[in-house]
């Protein structure tokens, strides 16, 4: 089982001046510990609730991923997950290609239909109906895949029109950057996973096995090999979590059918403490 470090909070000891040095140090420590992926949220405000108040620190995703690329050597880097309506698809494809080029082929795209309406309205970002957001999500995926191919022709969709899908330099990742579709909607999202994606990202819990069965059904209907799709989930822990609890919970996630867990520390004033706890469980998780 692989572990990724998901950085979902930047409100740490030392305030704003410490964010950059602390993040760089955390990324290096995570890579040295054997974490295989580093991800950040694609949000402009913190989400509220248990993670933290909306006014808490939040960094823009693709600037942050470029920073992380400069401070790491091996880990896969992507957003978990990008809201498809936050950026024009051609620009998003170019951002991921740029990250892939500068990181030596370590970029991915995690993408979903977006959900944080208050954030979008607050910053003046168009936030259409749920149905339209899913239409735009699929068009975004198609545009990215076209731009990451040798097809420089036009793209005409219901919501997006591109006259020429030129993308130079092209990605180092082959055949294209890692593509994850996040979300667990049974009719639309999991069908898009089966049709286009290298990976899904589904919340764990009692309904997770059913969601994976639904994904298997979509794969059968589309003629896709279910086993070729990576099954990922997110998982949180706190400063009160013990090593044994974390091992037990992660192994249960693995038994559900997930092969990758993106783990984030919730409530840590120094994220390096979360990495230390994560490093302690790596020997038992790696062979799961």
Per-residue pLDDT tens over the stretch 240-274: 999 999 999 999 999 999 999 999 999 999 999 99
77-108 per-residue burial string, b: 16 or more CB within 10 A, e: under 16: bbbbbbbbbbbebbebbbbbbbbbbebeebbb
> What pLDDT does 182 receive?
97
Report field, pTM of the whole predicted structure over 0.75: yes
Q: At what angle do helices 243-256 and 271-285 cross, to 10 degrees?
A: 60
Q: Give the model's pLDDT for residue 261.
A: 96
Residue 285's pLDDT band (cuts 50, 70, 90): confident
Mean of per-residue pLDDT scores for the chain: 96
Give the pLDDT of residue 50: 82
- Give tens-digit pLDDT for 199-209: 999 998 889 99
Q: Residue 205 has what pLDDT?
A: 86
Is a pLDDT exceeding 90 seen at residue 284?
A: no
pLDDT digits (tens, 9 = 90+) for 155-164: 999 999 999 9
């Amino acid at each position: 089982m692989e572990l990724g470090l998901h950085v979902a909070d930047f409100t740490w000891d030392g305030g704003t001046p410490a964010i950059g040095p602390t993040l760089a140090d955390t990324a290096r420590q995570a890579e040295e510990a054997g974490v295989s992926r580093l991800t950040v949220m694609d949000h402009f405000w913190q989400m509220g609730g248990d993670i933290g108040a909306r006014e808490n620190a939040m960094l823009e995703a693709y600037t942050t991923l470029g920073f992380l690329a400069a401070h790491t050597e091996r880990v896969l880097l992507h957003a978990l997950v990008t809201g498809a309506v936050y950026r024009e698809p051609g620009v998003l494809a170019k951002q991921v290609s740029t990250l892939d080029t500068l990181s030596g082929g370590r970029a991915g795209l995690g993408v979903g239909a977006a959900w944080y309406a208050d954030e979008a309205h607050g910053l003046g970002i168009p936030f259409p109906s749920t149905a339209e957001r899913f239409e735009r999500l699929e068009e975004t995926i198609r545009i990215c895949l076209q731009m990451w191919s040798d097809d420089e022709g036009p793209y005409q969709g219901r919501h997006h029109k591109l006259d020429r899908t030129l993308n130079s330099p092209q990605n180092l990742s082959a055949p294209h950057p890692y593509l994850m579709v996040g979300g667990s909607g049974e009719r639309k999202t999991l069908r898009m996973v089966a049709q286009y994606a290298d990976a899904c990202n589904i919340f764990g819990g009692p309904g997770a096995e059913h969601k994976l069965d639904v994904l298997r059904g979509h794969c059968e209907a589309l003629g896709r090999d279910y086993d070729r799709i990576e099954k990922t989930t997110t998982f949180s822990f706190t400063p009160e979590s013990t090593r044994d609890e974390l091992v037990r919970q992660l192994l249960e996630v693995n038994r559900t059918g997930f092969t990758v867990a993106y783990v984030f520390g919730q409530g840590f004033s120094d994220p390096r403490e979360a990495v230390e706890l994560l490093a302690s469980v790596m020997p038992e998780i790696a062979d799961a």
